[in-house]
């Protein structure tokens, strides 16, 4: 099963509730929420109170991407705010295993991610502990950047490792620079959860979601 996870970083924050209703009604399964701390990445986005306040706008899965130093410190707060999936960066955790265990202890799905420069082997030891692996296809921090094509080799490498370990129920997500032109290629490489920000929220959002879903269900 494929899932679309529109990244609200590119949404109109003035009308966030309405934007959520639009992607929900148009058929997106997840909502991708980018949390940035100005330290792990050179940008600051939104945090716990915003997630709490938009939780009532949709029943869709909150896919929370933590781009923050030592996320273990805030897992409980994000879980209580309404996160369904919590993704942490392998580069930002001193103790990755403890961080993933903490996520699961709050009944959230746990996911691990890695920056474009980090090799796939950095996440291999954690594959049996996660529900999803997120492959970053841009350097995290900003929406609207150009897709790094080499990320697809990493997707294939991770997919192969999952198959070898009989972990084929682990989802593979991609994030950064995905658009209607490269979408088919990305799915072919083995991705089944697609994050898209600018390609969804620029122009007619409902129409964009439908176009993505069409490619993703064919
Ligand atoms: C980048 C974020 C992405 C971003 C994607 O740091 O993790 O989720 O919003 O935006 P697009 O799809 O525009 O590259
Ligand atoms: Zn993201």
Structure tokens that stand for 206 in this block: 């409902």
Closest CA to 123 of 84, 90, 85, 88: 90
Average pLDDT over residues 122-126: 98
Instruction: Please answer whether residues 158 and 133 qualify as being in contact, where contact means their C-beta atoms are separated by less than 8 angstroms.
Output: yes
Instruction: Decide if 24 is catalytic.
Output: no
Confirm if 109 and 86 have CB atoms less than 8 A apart.
yes
pLDDT over 90 at 218, yes or no: no
Strands (E), 24-99: 30-36, 61-67, 85-89
Atom of ligand 1 nearest to the CA of 43: 6
Q: Which of these is catalytic: 34, 37, 63, 131?
A: 34
Q: Which CATH number goes with the domain that contains 155?
A: 3.20.20.70
Report how far residue 56's alpha carbon sits from residue 39's, in angstroms, rounded to the nearest whole number: 30
Rounded Cα distance between 68 and 128, Å, is: 23
pTM greater than 0.95 (yes/no): yes
The response to whether 144 counts as a known ligand-binding position is: yes
42 lines ligand 1 (CB under 6 A): no
The domain tally of the chain equals 1
Kindly report, residue by residue over 29-83, the tens digit of the pLDDT.
Answer: 999 999 999 999 999 999 999 999 999 999 999 999 999 999 999 999 999 999 9
What is the ipTM metric for this complex? 0.99
Give me the pLDDT at residue 201, please.
98
Q: Is the CB of 196 under 6 A from ligand 1?
A: yes
CB of 198 within 6 A of ligand 1: the answer is yes
Mean pLDDT, rounded, of the chain = 98
Domain of residue 86: give its range: 3-217
Q: Which pLDDT does position 169 carry in this prediction?
A: 97
Q: How far is the CA of 33 from the centre of ligand 2 (A)?
A: 7
Among the bound ligands, name the one nearest to the CA of residue 64. Answer: 2
So what's the pLDDT on residue 36?
98
Above 90 in pLDDT, residue 147? yes
């Amino acid at each position: 099963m494929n899932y679309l996870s529109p990244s609200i970083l590119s949404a109109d924050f003035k009308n966030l509730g309405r934007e959520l209703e639009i992607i929900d009604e148009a058929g997106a399964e997840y909502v991708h929420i980018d949390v940035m701390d100005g330290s792990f990445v050179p940008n600051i986005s939104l945090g716990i109170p915003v997630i709490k306040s938009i939780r009532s706008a949709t029943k869709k899965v909150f896919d929370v991407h933590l781009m923050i130093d030592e996320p273990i410190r805030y897992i409980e707060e994000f879980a209580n705010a309404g996160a369904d999936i919590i993704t942490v960066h392998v580069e930002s955790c001193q103790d990755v295993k403890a961080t993933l265990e903490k996520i699961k202890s709050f009944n959230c799905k746990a996911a691990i991610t890695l920056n474009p420069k980090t090799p796939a082997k950095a996440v291999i030891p954690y594959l049996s502990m996660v529900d999803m692996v997120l492959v970053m296809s841009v350097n995290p921090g900003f929406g609207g950047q150009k897709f790094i094509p080499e990320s697809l080799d990493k997707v294939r490498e991770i997919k192969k490792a999952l198959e070898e370990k009989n972990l084929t129920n682990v989802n593979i997500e991609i994030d950064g620079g995905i658009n209607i032109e490269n979408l088919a290629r990305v799915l072919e490489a083995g991705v089944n959860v697609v994050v898209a920000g600018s390609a969804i929220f620029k122009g007619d959002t409902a129409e964009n979601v439908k176009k993505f879903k069409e490619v993703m269900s064919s």
